[in-house]
Amino acid sequence: MSGRFGKVAVLMGGPSAERAISLKSGAAVLAALQRQDIDAHGIDVDAGVLERLRDGRFDRAFIALHGRWGEDGTIQGALEILGLPYTGSGVLGSALGMDKLRCKRLWTQAGLATPEFAVVADERALAPLADQFGLPLIVKPNAQGSSLGVSKVRGKDGLTAAWREAMSYGGEVFVERCMPGWELTAAILGAGVLPLIRLETPRAFYDYAAKYEADSTRYLLPCGLSAEREEECRQLSRRAFELVGCSGWGRVDFMLDENDIPNFLEVNTIPGMTDHSLVPMAARHAGIEFDELVIRILETSDGSA
């Protein structure tokens, strides 16, 4: 199998706010590849990464970079200039997937549901939105992952602090109506969609701690929907993924409204691959163990660059 893929660079770390999680994902991927006798090497990405890839004579890259540089199309564009095949979505799908606002606008135009939202450039606009959408509200930075900078605000007096926290991550900030229903996630793998996972947490919402640190988060597999309804949601999730131009593998998060209609929240083009991560969990439920999953993801590099 090692000769099939050649020399593989596992790209991890980088400068984003998700660096610590990326290093964990990359280490898990690297170990899985090496267990299968693949000539894989970990690279902590910095400004000299292209020179290291060129001088190292790598044949392809497994991207385990979360957030900036990894999920925004930056590394994908650089790898295309090098002519180096890579895993997951291309430049356009990566850039759009990282941009929550443009995802939501695309979905709305295509007739897919997403929670009501408004971009907030001035904190004086916050109180009227609380009246318009109702409380609680979700405040989000546009281009961050792992729920960094995201707040669930139950009273008007907390909106300004939440907005300023989101603004500290740079870029646009938006306010989103808080959906009261189930939160689910759909993992995309090649041409298929893995079983849905329903997420439950005693915390205010599925935040960074619930994702990576807490032992109290519940992951419901099967998710509790009928087989027919789950399949409908899986296919809608694939449509949401492809509308944004994504390919290969990834994850789509959504809420079910009072009519069990999926309201799409965001796309993750390079989901986590840690011991708390959702894609490995869904894959395992479908009979795909971690090492096989890593190979299946690496195979997506055959059609990327």
pLDDT of the chain, 305 residues: tens digit per residue: 557 899 999 999 998 888 999 999 999 999 999 999 999 999 999 989 999 999 999 999 999 999 888 899 999 999 999 999 999 999 999 999 999 999 999 999 999 999 999 999 888 888 888 888 888 999 998 876 656 778 888 888 889 899 898 888 878 898 999 888 899 999 999 999 999 999 987 655 554 554 445 566 889 999 999 999 999 999 999 999 999 999 999 999 999 988 889 999 999 999 999 877 999 999 999 999 999 999 999 999 986 43
Active site residue 272: yes
Active site residue 242: no
Can you read off the two tokens belonging to residue 298? 């690496």
Given 253, 263, 301, 304, the catalytic residue = 253
To the question of pTM greater than 0.85 for the whole model, the response is: yes
Task: Specify the amino acid at residue 220.
Answer: L
Active site residue 291: no
Active site residue 71: no
Given 176, 212, 230, 301, the catalytic residue = 212
> Bridge-partner residues for 251, per DSSP?
187, 268
Task: Specify the amino acid at residue 78.
Answer: A
Can you read off the two tokens belonging to residue 244? 């944004």
Q: Which domains does the chain have, with CATH numbers?
A: 2-86 (3.40.50.20), 96-112+180-300 (3.30.470.20), 117-177 (3.30.1490.20)
3-state secondary structure (DSSP) of residue 26: helix
Can you read off the two tokens belonging to residue 144? 């961050």
Can you read off the two tokens belonging to residue 173? 């900030």
- CA–CA gap between residue 173 and residue 139 (Å, rounded): 7
Active site residue 207: no
Active site residue 226: no
Per-residue exposure over 245-284, b if at least 16 CB sit within 10 Å of its own CB, e if not: bbbbbbbbbbbbeeeeebbbbbbbbbbbbbebbbbbbbbb
Active site residue 263: no
CA angle 262, 263, 268 (to 5 degrees): 100
Given 16, 142, 146, 301, the catalytic residue = 146
